Amino acid sequence: MNDIRRDIHLFVSVARIEASLHAHKLALQKIPAEIATVDKAIAELEAKENAVQASLEQLTAQRRNTEKNLREHEDHLKKYKGQTSLVKTNEEYTAMLKEIANLEQRIGDEEEQLLILMDRIEAAQHDVAKISEVVKAERAKRAAERQVLEAQQGNIESEVENLAREKPKILSEVSPPLLKRYARLAEKHRDVVVTRVEAEHCGVCRQQLPPQLAVEVRKNEQFITCPACGRILVHYAN
């Protein structure tokens, strides 16, 4: 294998690495957003669960307050009824009967309100139990999704480190003249300097190549650059 063909062969290896690094970079850019989407879904589920729980707690507080008022009014009613025999004037007696009637009305309203609250509390307890089961299952599902994404992220980062170490080793074997040309191009194209031709198009800028130029690239016998973007062009199969 002559020097130029050897260099092109090395550039093929570089192209594969750069293509992988570029793909990994794009994947790593997406993963945080995907993790954030999972976290948002979990937060929304927990917010819904908290809202239902808060509603139950509010109803329970209303029931306790109503029960407290009911006990106080029952005590007052008992007190007033015990004092009817002590009233001396008709006016006082009439006023006391009116107060007793008001208390009985309040007690009746509060007893009715308690029955309504008990029904609502029972329904709310059912809702809490139901949504808690759903949230528990969804939380486990979303946590598993997050774990997968984090594992993917870790694997990709590890692969990026390996490829980043391998690339300089390969470039160190390229002949100095072509390595200098690569370095100049790398100042402009930091991510992908070497790319393959895909269906007679540059693999990065997608510029269509003249048919004869595409044929020459497929031979991997010459140092050829894209007429549009200037990247080094090589050929390799998927």
In-domain check, residue 232: no
How many Cα neighbours within 13 Å face the side chain of 32?
Answer: 5
| Structure confidence at residue 151 (pLDDT) | 96
Burial class (CB in 10 A: 0-12, 13-18, 19+), 202: buried
**pLDDT per position as a tens digit, 41-74:** 889 988 999 999 999 999 999 999 999 999 999 9
**pLDDT per position as a tens digit, 77-95:** 999 888 888 888 899 889 9
In-domain check, residue 160: yes
* pLDDT, the chain, mean: 94
Residue 235 has pLDDT above 60, yes or no: yes
In-domain check, residue 124: yes
Question: What is the per-residue burial (b if ≥16 Cβ within 10 Å, else e) of 96-127?
Answer: beeebeebeebbeebeeebeebeeebeebeee
In-domain check, residue 138: yes
Rounded Cα distance, 204 and 109, in Å: 78
Question: What is the per-residue burial (b if ≥16 Cβ within 10 Å, else e) of 132-153?
Answer: eeebeebeeebeebbeebeeeb
| Average pLDDT value for residue range 119-129 | 94
In-domain check, residue 68: yes
In-domain check, residue 230: no
Mention every residue, 6+ apart, whose C-beta is less than 8 A from residue 141: none
Residue 190 corresponds to which tokens in the numbers above? 């930091």
| Structure confidence at residue 190 (pLDDT) | 82
Residue 118 corresponds to which tokens in the numbers above? 């008990």
Q: Ramachandran region of residue 87, left (φ > 0), alpha (ψ -120 to 50) or beta?
A: beta
Please give the tally of structural domains in the chain.
1
CATH assignment at residue 76: 1.10.287.1490
pLDDT-derived band at 2 (thresholds 50, 70, 90) equals: low
pLDDT-derived band at 1 (thresholds 50, 70, 90) equals: low
In-domain check, residue 76: yes
**pLDDT per position as a tens digit, 190-231:** 889 999 999 999 999 999 999 999 999 999 999 999 999 999
Residues of the domain holding 72? 31-165
Collapsed DSSP state (helix, strand, coil) of residue 174:
coil
Burial class (CB in 10 A: 0-12, 13-18, 19+), 23: exposed
Pairing of the two strands 194-198 and 232-234: parallel
In-domain check, residue 83: yes
